[in-house]
Structure 1
Amino acid sequence: MKTAVRTYGTMAEAREAGWDELSPSWDLFHSADWLSLESEQTNLPPRFHLAGEEGCRPEAALAGFPLDETSEPWPFMRVDRTLAMLADRYGIPAPGGALAPERLLPSYLCGSRRVPHTLLLTAGYGGTDRRSAHTGKLVAAAEEEARTQGSRSVAFLYVGEADPLREVLRDRGYAEFPTARYATLHLPEPGFDAYLETLPGVRRRKVVKERRQLAGSGLEFAVGPLTGELIPELVPLMIKHGAKYGHAYTEEHLTRTLELHVRHCGGTLHACTARSADGVLRGFSAFVQRDSRLYLRQTGYDYDWLGKLPLYFELIFYRPIEYAAGAGVTAVDYAVESEQTKLSRGCTLEQRYGYLKLFDASRQAELEPLLEGIRRVQQPSPS
């Protein structure tokens, strides 16, 4: 039978057509709930492509997000910002004008939006050849949609190292380059003590010392559902955290982001909070549980009060790990960046790869020296 691709303009339509049947139970960022959240944050309407045999339920799916110069300049989403970030990080000169937004944008970003994780969903049946055929059809459909919308490029920015999608993209003429290393903390045994045993002795003693220091700080810790009532307390801490790392977030933007999380993630969204003796919130982390996996999402701190207390490690690592023991969680997702910190707390890193196709082949050729420089400087994933 012939493979047919159907394209939908809303997640509600894609969901009715069978999206939920393809989204892995453990994956957050390609779930219908999360993509519905993203659909409300993006400035241009997304598209949802589903492929399968004609007249049958879909066997593969791919989300696509059109982005232009007015889209949020997030470096893990907009390809011009992604390449500029990599060029700056590795000290690689970019060819004159090759990274100008008008050369690369509008662009069609495939996978999820604003998160360094790219999946093309496929059913767990049908055989390798059948899945490969559906994958090829979906990539072709994404390119056709991009051309129809006037995009200059198509990007898959964070494809997993072992993902067979990589071969399909290479065969279709996409330029490949390493983009990031994705951190995951695997918890083979439940309980915080079992986690401690996975760490080297020196690190284990440091963690015990950090927790002893926090136990004597007078802070009260709690983990519970993140509801709308908590948002006004969280936003000021998120603004302070963003400012520390050079991000100028507004109260309105962060409030809306959290409200969307509450609406679309519901009871799977939790907050880990730390309050001083006077009841004032001094730090928090937010995470979403998806089946047996936790996804750390937001964090914030009262740095004026905090001093040198190691509250970050408690809220990002230790409390979520304790929560995991009673929730059937076997992995905590930490995304990208801050690699040494995550490695020091037991995470493993997986290399992710970007794929870029410019419809103007001469402009793609102009980028090749930069992409080759990124390939040369990137080291293999730590084991």
Structure 2
Amino acid sequence: MTHQTITEPEVPGLVTVEPVSSLSDIPEHSWDDVADPRDMFQSRAWLRTLERSGDAPVTYLIARQPGHPRILGALPLYDSLPSRGDYLYWPELHFQDLLHAAGADGRLGLLAGSRAGFGTRLIVDRTLPGPARAAVLDALRDAARAVAADRGLPYTFFLFLDASAWRDLAPVVRDGDHHRLASVAQTELELPGDDFEDYLATLPRNTRTSVRREVGVFARDCATETVPLREAIATVAPMIVNVRARHGMAYGVDTVARRLSAYASALGDASAMAVLCRVRGRTAGAGVMCRWHDRLYVTDFGRLDDEAPDPFVYFNAAIYEPVRHAYATGLSSVVTGAGAELGKARRGSAVLPLVHLAWATAGGHPERRADTAPAENRKEHWRRLRGAHPRYFHPVWDELL
């Protein structure tokens, strides 16, 4: 157990961090009091489902004041399993320079966070003032380093941190740590007004004309059906694998099916759905949608890996149909996910940066200087893209570029 002093009057005294092996040991109301209610991937239901799936061993670090039941912050720590080739949860893939510097072929560290894949946010009491939050995170950091050191691992990794989480973690970043921009960005679409026409009205005239054409051509050749995700996993998982393979990502159907099953189990049929796009009666593409409170997450897209016609299936399955569904169910925004950022931005989404972070275990990080070229190349990529399309990029990019 580690300790960190908080001097803020709102949270006097020490912060202790206790490792627990299961959320079944944490009362639901205690977890929900600290988790962001708008973030599906922080919810106890989501994390407990992952835990029960046994996909990766997990330890939860729970920060409290001594003798107080209130949770101030929490940090799930997962074993990284690189042999599965899943880029969402494989830290070493995003830090190849550290892997090469260490001269290792296996794991470099633990994976911290919710294993959500995109837009990772921190589980920390948002009512605490900044210095108090930093003290809680510092205590969690010390505990994570102790767990990593005990397992002989040089790093603890966060993947796909959003800008808010990165700002919160910046005060506890130290010498030996590494961070870099992700190669993908989060995209989110706030929904104006009451229906799809209100969404269209926010787009520039040329884009609005293009969207109407994409919707019209799609409707002429395709039909859509929204079904509970649970009923469509066997159909959707191979199509997601096909799309990932086109982009050089080594996925297995079983890996994707397990993740989709976790969505369905955690959220239920009313909130974990698949949009099936049928071209002349055959399912040619699909989008996966997860509802959580007033947000709709588009988590995956898949399509057939053949020469089937593709009359704008992607944008209809990943944007237009989810937007229609969100309006119909009274939601405020659609999280359109990562990848294809420019296409999503042209259709109204904000492009928000994501950051990867490696916390060094004390005395455990490789001494040989790592190659920083890949990280600099990634940053230059985003500079060029923002320079060509400044209107799509939020000012939060300034602090990272």
TM-score tier (shorter): 0.7 to 0.9
Distance in 2, Cα, partners of 1:354 & 1:242: 21
Alignment of 1:48-127 (within 5 A): 48-56=60-68, 57-70=70-83, 72-84=84-96, 97-98=100-101, 100-102=103-105, 105-113=107-115, 115-127=117-129
Alignment partners' CA distance in 1, 2:308 and 2:71: 51
Q: TM-score, normalised by structure 2?
A: 0.82
Percent sequence identity is 21
Which residues in structure 2 correspond to 1:322-341 (within 5 Å)? Answer: 322-341=324-343
**Matches of 1:95 and 1:142 in 2, distance apart?**
19
- Is residue 10 from structure 1 mapped to residue 22 from structure 2 by the alignment? yes
CA contact (8 A) 2:74 2:140 kept: yes
Would you say the 8 A contact 2:155–2:365 is kept in 1? no
Number of aligned pairs? 369
TM-score by length of 1: 0.85
Q: Which amino acid aligns with 2:261?
A: E
Please state how far the C-alpha of 1:124 moved relative to its aligned partner.
3.0
Residue 275 (1) aligns with residue 288 (2): no
Are 1:220 and 2:223 matched, yes or no?
yes
In structure 2, the residue matched to 1:89 is: none
> Would you say 1:208 and 2:221 are equivalent positions?
no
Q: Is the 8 A contact 1:110 1:118 kept in 2?
A: no
Residue 9 of structure 2 is matched in structure 1 by: none
Distance 1:98 1:235, change over 3 A: same
> Is residue 174 from structure 1 mapped to residue 177 from structure 2 by the alignment?
yes
Task: Encode CA deviations 1:151-174: one digit per residue, 9 max, x unaligned.
Answer: 221112332224342323324752
Is 2:112–2:156's contact at 8 Å kept on the other side of the alignment?
yes
Aligned to 1:22: 34
- Confirm or deny: 8 A CA contact 1:80 1:99 kept in the other structure: no
1:124-135 aligned at under 5 Å gives the runs: 124-135=126-137
Q: Distance in 1 between matches of 2:277 and 2:300?
A: 14
Aligned to 1:285: 287
Retained in 2: the 8 A contact 1:177–1:371? no
Q: Measure, in 2, the Cα distance between the counterparts of 1:108 and 1:253.
A: 19
Amino acid at match of 2:219: A
Contact in 2 for aligned 1:45/1:65 (Cα 8 Å): yes
SS at match of 1:306: coil
Question: Shift in Å at residue 49 of structure 1?
Answer: 1.3
- C-alpha distance 224-96 of structure 1, shift in aligned 2 (>3 A): closer
With over 3 angstroms needed to count, the CA separation of the structure-2 counterparts of 1:331 and 1:9, relative to structure 1, is same
Shift of 1:128: 2.7
Change beyond 3 A, Cα 1:130–1:169: closer
User: How far apart, in 2, do the equivalents of 1:290 and 1:303 lie?
Assistant: 31
Aligned residue identity for 1:238: I
Amino acid at match of 2:78: F
- Displacement, 1:11? 2.5
Distance 2:367 2:374 in 1: 10
Out of 259, 262, 287, the residue aligned to residue 260 of structure 1 is 262
Deviation of 1:269 after TM superposition, in Å, equals 0.4
Whether contact under 8 Å (1:282, 1:305) holds in the other structure is no
1:231 is paired with a residue of what secondary structure? helix
Gaps of at least 5 residues in structure 1 are 85-93
Tell me the CA shift for residue 140 of structure 1: 1.3
Check conservation: 1:270, 1:286, Cα contact below 8 A: yes
Give the secondary-structure state (helix, strand or coil) at the position aligned to 1:21: helix
CA contact (8 A) 1:17 1:58 kept: no
Q: Aligned partner of 1:150: which letter?
A: G
Q: Distance in 1 between matches of 2:259 and 2:131?
A: 41
Report the Cα distance in structure 2 between the residues aligned to 1:261 and 1:44, rounded to whole angstroms: 16
| Structure 2: distance between partners of 1:143 and 1:95 | 17
State the distance in 1 between where 2:87 and 2:258 align. Answer: 21
Deviation string 1:100-153 (CA, Å, 9 cap, x unpaired) is: 544x72411111226033322122323333222212111111111111222221
CA positional deviation for 1:356: 1.5
Deviation at 1:27, TM superposition (A): 0.6
Structure 1 residues 19 and 377 mapped into 2: Cα distance closer, same or farther (>3 Å)? Answer: same
What does 1:361-380 align with in structure 2 at a 5 Å threshold? 363=366, 366-367=369-370, 369-370=372-373, 373-374=376-377, 377=380, 379=382
1:362 deviates by 6.3
Q: CA deviation at 1:253?
A: 3.9
SS where residue 48 of structure 2 aligns? helix
Question: Which segment drifts farther, 307-316 or 248-257?
Answer: 248-257
Is structure 2 residue 202 aligned with structure 1 residue 190?
Answer: no
Q: Is the Cα–Cα contact under 8 Å of residues 242 and 305 in structure 2 kept in the other structure?
A: yes
Separation of aligned partners in 2, 1:241 and 1:376 = 25
Q: Could you tell me how far 1:358 is from its partner in structure 2?
A: 3.4
* Amino acid corresponding to residue 346 of structure 2 in structure 1: S
Correspondence for 2:10: none
- Rounded to whole Å, the distance in 1 between the matches of 2:284 and 2:374 is 43
RMSD (Å) for aligned C-alpha atoms = 2.8
Cα distance, 1:343 vs. partner? 1.4
